[in-house]
Homo-oligomer: A and B are copies of this chain.
């Protein structure tokens, strides 16, 4: 119905809105930005003009004057892997876990009016490039998902004073808030489950011990077992991949054939570990109980389905977004890190 009163071909500008509403650009701008000091009648006129013209603000123009960008960067930092056969950017993107993080993030960021720019840092050059981009003020904040413990990026970001949130505690401490699950508490849940089932010869397939999360899962599991009266803990280290889990399970089983319970530090490794047990003639869960970690799709896909420690990944990502928003809105504020409580999801493997 409304004739779009504007120059043809180009999107309507604030100027157009002002003209249609019969006010100045300044007043139109006030309405658009929700400032209270506008007469109700004029406000209505402007709002009508916005609808009539199909106006939407030009972000570049706005950004030029406000120095905000209404966008944040989602930076994926991976160790360079030219030696691996992995095609291109490595496994982060094809990890369903990462997808869940993105999902939880967007769910908060979108309603806040923030766009999300995807960036990858996987070698020295790209890291410098990303950092330059961020420092230049092209985004209002950064969510960093880093997969390697010796990543220098957290510290470098801390020095920029740009609002930043980390997915998980960084390998090298940095003065930045992070969100993660209580690894030790999760390990304890696993220990309690296995012990409650009467298992006493318990081992664990741990994650890479240079990663804090993996360390804490191992350490927490050992501590919980000790508290439950099981002082000894044989373990083997995997690399958080399926193949690595299988390999570690083989070593563990070779050294300790009498095992009746295993805590595998990730579901994906569990996917590799369980078949090793089965092929070695152990029934799961009858002979050996297995508890995983993550509650990823892998847990459901396993045969039998894995009993596992659940991380509320989407909720955690949502919290990351909120921490970031708070920093953006209150410059200087550095909110405390948030640690989520894990829960046990009982399926068939223990």
A residues adjacent to B (C-beta < 8 A): 11, 56, 58-61, 63-64, 69, 71, 74, 87-90, 92-100, 102-104, 106-107, 110, 115-120, 126, 132-133, 135-138, 242, 271, 275, 297, 301, 303, 314
- In the complex the two chains form, is B135's CB within 8 Å of A301's CB? no
Residues of B within 8 A of A60 (CB): 59-61, 63-64, 69
- In the complex the two chains form, is B126's CB within 8 Å of A120's CB? no
Output the residue of A106, A117, A133 with the most chain B CB within 10 A.
A106
Residues of B within 8 A of A61 (CB): 60, 64
- In the complex the two chains form, is A102's CB within 8 Å of B93's CB? yes
Residues of B within 8 A of A96 (CB): 94-96
The closest CB in chain B to the CB of A89 belongs to: B103
Inter-chain CA distance A58–B133, complex, in Å, is 10
- In the complex the two chains form, is A103's CB within 8 Å of B107's CB? no
**Ordered nearest first, which 5 A-B pairs have the shortest CB separation?**
A93-B99, A94-B99, A60-B63, A94-B96, A89-B103
Known: A96-B94, A99-B99. A110 touches B116 (CB 8 A): no
- In the complex the two chains form, is A117's CB within 8 Å of B115's CB? yes
Output the residue of A56, A99, A135 with the most chain B CB within 10 A.
A99
Total copies of the chain: 2
Inter-chain CA distance A303–B93, complex, in Å, is 24
Inter-chain CA distance A126–B56, complex, in Å, is 15
Output the residue of A102, A106, A110, A271 with the most chain B CB within 10 A.
A102
- In the complex the two chains form, is B100's CB within 8 Å of A93's CB? yes
- Give the residue of B64, B87, B297 whose beta carbon is less than 8 angstroms from that of A58: B64
Residues of B within 8 A of A87 (CB): 100, 103, 314
Give 29 A-B contacts (CB < 8 Å), ordered by A residue.
A11-B136, A11-B137, A56-B133, A59-B60, A59-B138, A60-B61, A60-B63, A60-B64, A60-B69, A61-B64, A64-B64, A88-B104, A88-B107, A89-B103, A92-B99, A93-B100, A93-B103, A94-B96, A94-B100, A94-B103, A95-B96, A102-B118, A106-B118, A106-B120, A110-B126, A115-B117, A115-B118, A117-B117, A271-B301
Residues of B within 8 A of A92 (CB): 99
The closest CB in chain B to the CB of A279 belongs to: B303
Residues of B within 8 A of A110 (CB): 120, 126
State the Cβ distance, A254 to closest chain B Cβ, in Å. Answer: 21
